[in-house]
Amino acid sequence: MRGSPPVSRENALSDAPVGTAIRAIRQGARIPALTGVRAIAAFFIFFHHHPTSALVWGPLEIWWELHVGVTLFFVLSGFMITWRYDREDGTRGSFWRGYFVNRFARIYPLYFALVVPTMFLFHERSPLVWVLNLTVFSCFKSGIPQAWSLRVEECFYLAAPLLFLGWKRHPLVPLLAALAALVVLVPVAMLPATAGFLGPPRYLLLDTFFGRFFEFFVGAWLAKRVAATGTGDVARRFPLATLGGAAGIVATVAALAAIHSATRARYTYGLHHPAGIALNNVVLPVFIAAFYWGLVRERSLVRSLLSGRVADLLGRSSYAFYLIHFGFLRDVIVFRLVRLAGVAGATAEAWAAAFVKTPLGLFVVVNLLAILLYEAIESPANRILRRAFRAPPRAERAA
């Protein structure tokens, strides 16, 4: 936080209660449980698109509102970008060069590898559609429909340096600036000419960076708080923040489902109701931040599970999982796999077809495909791009 003195590892340890198990956290260091939680966010979205009766609680269709996995991602993105890149040396050009190279390497190689064949399979010929899909700014006709959230992420990556700069003046500066921009854009979103780009207002609030900024801001605030404390596990044994945050997330999803149940004649999702927008964009991020705080600071079974090797692998492959879990490309891949099973005979093909038609069967198949894509394309491309475009060492530049 602005005005807070830096907390050294030694000071953090000396300020800790006696007898408390303390794990010093270096800002920018990897936090395993927050990799694992990416898988949870992606799985929420999967079951939002592939309903199961296990997620119908009486009159509440819980699966219908599991789009909240996107909010989990946005808060986490705000946390991780701030945690890794908010530095005192962040004014150097080489720092931001590395930042943008890392962001490009993280998002685009796998996206390109999937969206290009998708548009070829769709026989897409419009140059405008190609440009808008490849830049992830709009128009996912013939593309990957769930990639709308990448546009919001992309805008945050571009705005993050400004957020850090404004935060140095006062933590509320970036929030007030975003709110002012939103107020200006609401009447613009009412114009017919902005339909599908900024408008209508509900689209502005739910599908654009300006409407979702608070989620990133809460994640950034959490990163600042964790960096300021400089310590790991708190003294209490009961994981209050972890369980309280998780309960708040579940309660918010249930409330959105209740809104949907009561207003389905007028609104497609409970999220689309004004109260649903407020719950998703303002209330839910606070509960998510509490949950993430618990994963960083509290010992719990949840943290242990999300820090394990399986959760880590599923978290690292969650981006690939998100891109292929829904849409035309998934259908093509699954169809090819079923036909491949037919090599072993008609019975094997019928069994494979029946397996992928169930939500659980498709869930298993998509996870395996996502791990394969991560290991074969995403991770190697990430390493190659970072190595190719990294800034030369200072001594080499001076020479």
pLDDT of residue 21: 30
- Per the model's pLDDT, the better-predicted residue between 7 and 288 turns out to be 288
pLDDT of residue 388: 86
pLDDT of residue 379: 95
Evaluate if residue 346 carries a pLDDT over 60: yes
pLDDT of residue 332: 87
What letter would DSSP give residue 375?
I
3-state secondary structure of 104: helix
pLDDT digits (tens, 9 = 90+) for 108-128: 999 999 999 999 988 888 888
Beta strands in the chain (DSSP E): 56-57, 60-61
Evaluate if residue 328 carries a pLDDT over 60: yes
Q: How many helices (H) and strands (E) does the chain have?
A: 20, 2
Mean pLDDT of the chain, nearest integer:
87
Q: Report residue 335's pLDDT band, with 50, 70 and 90 as the boundaries.
A: confident
Residue 122, class by beta-carbon neighbours within 10 Å (0-12 exposed, 13-18 middle, 19+ buried)?
Answer: middle
Q: Are the CB atoms for 310 and 33 separated by under 8 Å?
A: no
Evaluate if residue 395 carries a pLDDT over 80: no
pLDDT digits (tens, 9 = 90+) for 53-101: 899 999 999 999 999 999 999 999 999 999 999 876 555 667 788 889 9
Question: Considering only 32-41, 306-315, 344-353, 378-387, which range has the smallest mean pLDDT?
Answer: 344-353
What letter would DSSP give residue 23?
-
pLDDT of residue 391: 58
Q: Hunting for tokens 């891109």 — which residue is that? A: 323
Helices in 230-316 by DSSP H: which ranges?
240-263, 274-278, 284-297, 301-306, 309-316
Residue 197, class by beta-carbon neighbours within 10 Å (0-12 exposed, 13-18 middle, 19+ buried)?
Answer: middle
pLDDT of residue 14: 35
Query: Rounded to an integer, what distance in angstroms lies between the CA atom of residue 365 and that of residue 367?
Result: 5
Evaluate if residue 316 carries a pLDDT over 90: yes
pLDDT of residue 56: 93
pLDDT of residue 333: 86
The domains of the chain are located at: 29-308
pLDDT of residue 234: 77
Nearest Cα neighbor of 2 from 224, 234, 217, 263 is 224
Evaluate if residue 290 carries a pLDDT over 50: yes
Average pLDDT of 330-348? 86
Task: Retrieve residue 64's tokens.
Answer: 């219908």
Question: Considering only 20-34, 201-215, 226-240, 330-344, which range has the smallest mean pLDDT?
Answer: 20-34
∠ CA 47-50-53, rounded to 5°: 80
Give me the residues paired with residue 195 across strands. Answer: 199
3-state secondary structure of 182: helix
pLDDT digits (tens, 9 = 90+) for 245-289: 999 999 999 999 999 999 998 999 999 999 999 999 999 999 999
Query: Rounded to an integer, what distance in angstroms lies between the CA atom of residue 101 and that of residue 389?
Result: 7
Query: Rounded to an integer, what distance in angstroms lies between the CA atom of residue 173 and that of residue 213?
Result: 13
pLDDT digits (tens, 9 = 90+) for 121-173: 888 888 888 988 888 877 677 789 899 999 999 999 999 999 999 999 999 99
The H or E element spanning position 44 is helix 32-49
pLDDT of residue 12: 38
Give me the residues paired with residue 60 across strands. Answer: 57
